[in-house]
Each structure stands twice: as C-alpha cells, then as structure tokens.
Amino acid sequence: MQNLIQKKTACPRDCPDACGLIATIENGRVVKLQGDPDHPITQGFICGRTSRFPEQQNSTERLTKPLLRRTKSGDFEEISWPEALDLLANKMRQFRSDSGAASILQYRCGGSLGIMKHVGDYFFEKFGPVTSKSGDVCAGAGEAAQLTDFGEFDSNDYFDFHNSKTIFLWGKNVFISSIHLIPELKKARANGTKIVLIDPVHHQTTSIADVYVQPRPGSDSAIAMGIARWLFENKRIDPKAAEYCDHVTEFQALAQSKSIAEWAAIADVSPEEMITLAEAYTDGPTCSMIGWGLQRRRHGAATIRAIDALAAVSGNLGIPGGGASFYFVRRGAFDFSFANQTPAPRTIPEPLLGPGILAASDPPIRMAYVWAANPVAMLPDSETVAKALRTREFTVVVDPFLTDTAKCADLVLPTTTFLEEDDYIGSYGHHYLAEVNPVVEPPEGVLSDHEIFRELSRRLDLAEEFDVDASVWKQRVLQKLNAAGITSNDFKNGSVKNPFVSDVLFADRKFGTPSGKVNLIHELHSDLLRVPAETSMHVTALSTNKSQASQWPPETQTGPADAAVHPSSVPGYNDGDVVTVSTERGSIQVRLCFDERQRPDVLLMDKGGWHSAGRSANSLINAEVTDDGECAVYYDTAAVIS
C-alpha cells in the first residue's frame, strides 16, 4: 500500500448530488474514487457509475491527440496542437469576417457542471457573440413553470423534508438520480413520514414508498386537479390562500370543472386511489419533490404548474416541511456579472438543434463548436443532429472520447476529465458548493477546455482577458461569495453552504412574480382535459445507474439495446425476441424484456445508447419543444413493434 496518496475533489458530472470525492492515486493514476465522509450530502458513499470511472479515466480509449479529417470523406489523422489551434482560430476568424459571428454555433450540455464552463461561454460572447442554444432539454419546462408561478426556482434546505409529515415524489427515481436521498428518506419514514410515489414507470423507489400509484404518462396535472378538487370540497384549502395567490377563484373553477372520478379517469387511476392521494396530501406539512422526468413531455410546464398550484393553495409553501421542490439554485452564489452583456445574435432551441442548424439561414451556420456534450446520442432525432454536424463546413468537437458526435467532426480536440479539472461547482439538488481539484495530471497531449480557450485567445486578439491562469477566473467568480465573507480557503477542506439561501423558501410568502403573489395555473390545454384516444407505446428512455448519459464503457454498446415492455403490449412476441421498434422518426432493433410491472403504454429503455451502435433511443424521438421553456419532449413519441 505504498505510493498511495489521497486527494479531495468534487464531482461536476451532471447529477443533483454533486458529491465530495476522495481520489486514491497510485503512481500518477487515479485507482479509486470514494465519497467524502465530511461532505454533508455525500456522507461517504458515491454511485456506481462514478466509483467505476477510474476505468474510463485510465482507458486506452482516451483521446490524446487532435484529430483532423482533411476532406469530408476522409479518415481522421492525428495532428499537432499548434496545427489544430491555428486551423481552428483561422476558421473562426474567417467565418466571422465573411458571414458574421452568427455563422458560428457553440453548443455544450452536461459534460461538466463546472462553473468554469461559463467562462467558455463568455469567451464565445467576447469573440462574437455567436449563435447559441436557447431553452434546456433537461429542465427547461420546470424552470419556466416555476418562474411563471413563483418568479424564481429554488427549494427549502435539502434536509427540510425531515419536517414533513408526507412526502410526494412526483416522478422521481431516487435510486438512480438522487441516491443520497435514499438513506434520508428511509430515516424520515422510520420517524413516521409517509412517502407517496407517483410514477408511470415501476422502479426501485417503490420499495421505500407507502403509497404508489402508476398513472398514465403525462397525466400528473389531472392528479393535481383531482386532489385540489377534494381539498376544496373538504375545506382543506388554506383560508389565507388568496392573500398570497392570484387566481384562486379561477383555479377552484378549473379543479371543480370535473369530478374526482373524471380526473382519475384522465390519469388512469381509480377514484379510490385519487382519494388516498388527497388524504395523504392533506396530512401535512407536505413536501412535493418534483422529479425531472415528468416535465420532459409535451405539456411539461403545465404539469409542474399544476403541482405548484396545489402546493400553494394547500398552504404548503413557505413552511418547514412543505415546498414544491424542483430545483436548487446552482450558480446563484457565483459571480458572473461580467458575462451576458451582449445577447447572442441568434439562438436555436436546444431540442431542435439538428433541424435548427439545417434550417438556419442569413447567415447559415457554417461552423459548429461542440464541447462537453454528445448531442448525436443525447438530443432528440439523432440522425438529423448527426447530419447537421456532418454537413457544416467545419465542425469541432472537444471531448475526452471519440463519441458519436466526435465522429461527425472535422476536428476533434482531446480534453481533460473531471479528475484533471480546476473548477468550482454548485448543485441543482442541494445548496452546497465545492471545489473541483485536478487530482492527477492529464495524459500527455491533452488540454483542458480552459487551456484551449487560452490558446485560442492568443490567436484571436482576446489574450488580454483570457490568456490567464484558471485561478484568475476562479477568484473572479468568487467575488460575490467574498463579499459574504467566504474565500477560496473555505473550499479547501470540502464543501461550503451557499450563504445566500434560506432554509425555508418563501417564508414571508412574498414571491418574485409581478404581483408578488403565486400565479396559480387556471387553464389547461384540451389534451389534459380528456382521456387520450391513443394507447400506443411511447419510447421512454430513462437514466440508468450503469452510465452517465452516453458515457458508457464501449464494451456495453454491442448488440441490440434492451427494451422493457408489458407482455400484453406486444402480442405474439416472446421475452428476449429481437424486434424492430419504429416511430415516425426512425427505427432500431431492440431485445424485448418482459416486465409485468410496467404499463402497456410504456416502452422502457436506457437513455444514452450510442447511435453508432444502433442503440440510441433518440434516433426514435421527435424533435419537439415543450409547452414552455423549450425543454425536449423526450417521452411522448409513439412506437410500434415489428
């Protein structure tokens, strides 16, 4: 056990838990990752996908040389960094002077939630600004909904649910997406808190739920309305609701426009289940923990608004143990006052990236710079995204690995992993901030995103601001915290709690809306007011504990992907059959896995399968935006089996 050293860092992978990590290093290689026992959320344990990450970190699949395809039909060849950076800088300058900076698109997603990645966005702002994305495929609908309702989106303290009598998990699989909630929810339950799970997909979180209902996908607004109707009928509405909510009368009229049985029918639950839910809801304080899945649907924003309204009229906002928690303010403690001074000349809604690039004109998108993202595998309509990137005059992809997206590039730049990064993170699942430390050196020939921008800045007359060490930017983003008495030293031994948040959000019942009151939803789209005629299966590709989005070990990406279905939805087929799933977007082969616990209208897959291996669910998914917030409609594409 000699030569082993341990260093602390934090995990900037796209996950609400944003863990504190302890890396064990042997001869310059990370050999083990563990949870930091001192981190208040991590409490010493981490997920399988990240504890296994050292294999990916040290794998021979890591890119270490820039790769260039000199002609569209040619193969990649290794080139030197100076050649790669000169070429890239020349292209950027050329497109900007010929067609304007709008002819360049920069796109990044969840490869790292590091705060320093925003400095990269700012680099493109100062160079251009260039075309960028609008909306958010991950959480856009829920964020837009809560902005409309409350004027902001944040949550009570992470541990506040220990004050709840009832916890409603609206479409949340904590066994995959928030594993550090598992012991805490178990503890709450042991102390008498009731846990209610509402999820069309049967999964492991049912094992810690006292009540489980499995409604029709996309029907949570009907559940919220059914519960609200029961609350009005049984006089369980907060008598003071009108003092801090607008539209109480109209909301009541909407909830009472249908009977409880009618709302139950829309949600495909029994009236008895609806009443059980309503009774549980009134046994408060009741905290609504709203997952991210249910808003990635056509009416995703309205869904979250209905849940928000229920929390408001029942008196559950602004009290310990209450709340409608969708998101925790992640970046708010960091200072970005220098950025976002000049708006992008053009934006493309993120879910429509593929068709949007192809349709853009005046100027067309001539160049794309994709970093910390794998849009071919992860955005809807994989094939169109791939085509859009392949057909640009110059596409650059920056990634540690040769992903589906990198394969569409003209130039691929190898970059660092989170174990080689120097950064800060916040979290969208709690209020702790942490420092990301380079625990090892990157492989020879690999530059961090920051170093790439630094090199480009020298070639693009931006050196004065950008040719500086990462530490300079890290100081700059800390200015707001400094003013609150927190310095970089406070991060050295682990996490720092965001000093700008309160334990109970909206304790004064003042909201950031124009009227200062909650803006209750009082209209629903006609689709949400009737039992849908269509009953076909919908492709539902969800997070899996085996990977972070498309970041799978390559050996897992062979053969047809698994698709779990209820046997009754595929008459004539057997468990294990390899079949074709087709949608109006495309088709792929899958292996059927029968699961009697699932609804017949759901075809369940792992998210993040590789397009190049024929395993990407997104080659089946329509590119479409949600009712608000430009989130992706990931789970509403109907499929047939043949």
Joined tokens for residue 557: 């990406």
Q: How far is the CB of 595 from ligand MGD (least distance, A)?
A: 13
Using the rule CB under 6 A, give the single segment among 95-103, 108-116, 356-364, 469-477 that binds ligand MGD.
108-116
599 lies in the binding site for ligand MGD (CB under 6 A)? no
68 lies in the binding site for ligand MGD (CB under 6 A)? no
Q: How crowded is residue 55: how many other Cβ atoms within 10 Å of its Cβ?
A: 10
Q: How far is the CB of 609 from Mo ion (least distance, A)?
A: 16
The number of CA neighbours under 13 Å toward the Cβ of 497 is 9
Q: Figure out which of the listed residues 196, 269, 294, 481 binds ligand MGD, where binding follows CB under 6 A.
A: 294
Using the rule CB under 6 A, give the single segment among 200-208, 276-284, 474-482, 560-568 that binds ligand MGD.
200-208
Q: Figure out which of the listed residues 149, 435, 449, 455 binds ligand MGD, where binding follows CB under 6 A.
A: 449
From the list ligand MGD, Mo ion, none, partner contacted by residue 291 (C-beta under 5 to 8 A by kind): ligand MGD
Q: Which is nearer to ligand MGD, 481 or 604 (CB)?
A: 604
CA pair distance 434, 48, nearest whole angstrom: 21
Q: Figure out which of the listed residues 20, 35, 111, 560 binds ligand MGD, where binding follows CB under 6 A.
A: 111
Residue with tokens 């569409």: 408
From the list ligand MGD, Mo ion, none, partner contacted by residue 621 (C-beta under 5 to 8 A by kind): ligand MGD
Provide the H-helix boundaries in 572-629: none
Site map for ligand MGD, 242-281, x if CB under 6 A?
A: ----------------------------------------
Q: Which is nearer to Mo ion, 291 or 321 (CB)?
A: 291
The residues in 33-52 that bind ligand MGD, with binding defined as CB under 6 A, are: 47, 49
* Burial (Cβ within 10 Å: 0-12, 13-18, ≥19) of residue 77: exposed
The DSSP secondary structure of 39-59, one letter per residue, reads STTTTT---HHHHTHHHHHT-
Joined tokens for residue 493: 């031994």
607 lies in the binding site for ligand MGD (CB under 6 A)? yes
Residues 6+ apart with CB under 8 A from 300: 141, 142, 145, 294, 626, 627, 629, 631, 633
Q: Which is nearer to ligand MGD, 452 or 460 (CB)?
A: 452
Radius of gyration in angstroms for the set of CA atoms belonging to the chain, rounded to a whole number: 25
Q: How far is the CB of 14 from Mo ion (least distance, A)?
A: 5
217 lies in the binding site for ligand MGD (CB under 6 A)? yes
As a dihedral over the C-alpha atoms of residue 316, residue 321, residue 327, residue 332, rounded to 10 degrees, the angle is: 100
- ∠331-546-301 over CA atoms, to 5°? 45
CA pair distance 242, 569, nearest whole angstrom: 46
Joined tokens for residue 539: 């492709």
Closest CA to 324 of 160, 209, 476: 160
545 lies in the binding site for ligand MGD (CB under 6 A)? yes
The DSSP secondary structure of 526-547, one letter per residue, reads GGGGS--S---EEEEEE--TT-
Residue with tokens 């976002």: 340
Q: Figure out which of the listed residues 634, 636, 637, 641 binds ligand MGD, where binding follows CB under 6 A.
A: 634
* Burial (Cβ within 10 Å: 0-12, 13-18, ≥19) of residue 574: exposed
From the list Mo ion, ligand MGD, none, partner contacted by residue 297 (C-beta under 5 to 8 A by kind): ligand MGD
Q: How far is the CB of 260 from ligand MGD (least distance, A)?
A: 19
Report the Cα 453 to chain-centroid distance in Å.
25
From the list ligand MGD, Mo ion, none, partner contacted by residue 607 (C-beta under 5 to 8 A by kind): ligand MGD
Q: How crowded is residue 582: how many other Cβ atoms within 10 Å of its Cβ?
A: 15
Closest CA to 177 of 635, 606, 548: 548
Site map for Mo ion, 136-155, x if CB under 5 A?
A: --x-----------------
Using the rule CB under 6 A, give the single segment among 72-80, 271-279, 352-360, 368-376 that binds ligand MGD.
368-376
Q: Which is nearer to ligand MGD, 402 or 504 (CB)?
A: 402
Residues contacting ligand MGD: total by CB under 6 A: 65
Q: How far is the CB of 118 from Mo ion (least distance, A)?
A: 17
Joined tokens for residue 369: 């710079």
Q: Figure out which of the listed residues 137, 274, 311, 504 binds ligand MGD, where binding follows CB under 6 A.
A: 137
18 lies in the binding site for Mo ion (CB under 5 A)? no
Site map for ligand MGD, 152-181, x if CB under 6 A?
A: ------------------xxxx--xx----
Q: Which is nearer to Mo ion, 11 or 255 (CB)?
A: 11
The residues in 472-531 that bind ligand MGD, with binding defined as CB under 6 A, are: none
Q: Figure out which of the listed residues 21, 33, 104, 138 binds ligand MGD, where binding follows CB under 6 A.
A: 138
The residues with which 195 forms a beta bridge, in sequence order, are 167
Q: Which is nearer to Mo ion, 117 or 517 (CB)?
A: 117
Using the rule CB under 6 A, give the single segment among 226-234, 261-269, 292-300, 455-463 that binds ligand MGD.
292-300
CA pair distance 39, 582, nearest whole angstrom: 46
Sign of CA dihedral 219, 225, 230, 236: positive
Beta strands 104-108 and 367-371, pairing class: parallel
Beta strands 432-436 and 194-198, pairing class: unpaired
From the list Mo ion, ligand MGD, none, partner contacted by residue 543 (C-beta under 5 to 8 A by kind): ligand MGD
Q: How far is the CB of 213 from ligand MGD (least distance, A)?
A: 9
Closest CA to 42 of 188, 161, 178: 178
543 lies in the binding site for ligand MGD (CB under 6 A)? yes
The residues with which 369 forms a beta bridge, in sequence order, are 106, 396
CA pair distance 528, 531, nearest whole angstrom: 8
Site map for ligand MGD, 371-410, x if CB under 6 A?
A: xxxxx-xx-------------------xxxx-x-------
Closest CA to 62 of 376, 371, 375, 403: 403
Name the DSSP class of 600: T
Mind spelling out the 3-state secondary structure of 554-580? Answer: HHHCCCCEEEEECHHHCCCCCCCCEEE
Q: Figure out which of the listed residues 551, 583, 598, 622 binds ligand MGD, where binding follows CB under 6 A.
A: 551
From the list ligand MGD, Mo ion, none, partner contacted by residue 51 (C-beta under 5 to 8 A by kind): none
Q: What is the largest CA-CA distance in the chain?
A: 73
Q: How crowded is residue 640: how many other Cβ atoms within 10 Å of its Cβ?
A: 14
Q: Which is nearer to ligand MGD, 199 or 246 (CB)?
A: 199
Q: Which is nearer to ligand MGD, 248 or 470 (CB)?
A: 470
Note the residues at the interface with ligand MGD (CB under 6 A): 14-16, 47, 49, 109-112, 137-138, 170-173, 176-177, 198-201, 203, 217-218, 220, 291-294, 297, 371-375, 377-378, 398-401, 403, 415-418, 421, 449, 541-545, 547-551, 607-608, 617-618, 621, 634-635
Residues that bind Mo ion (CB under 5 A): 138
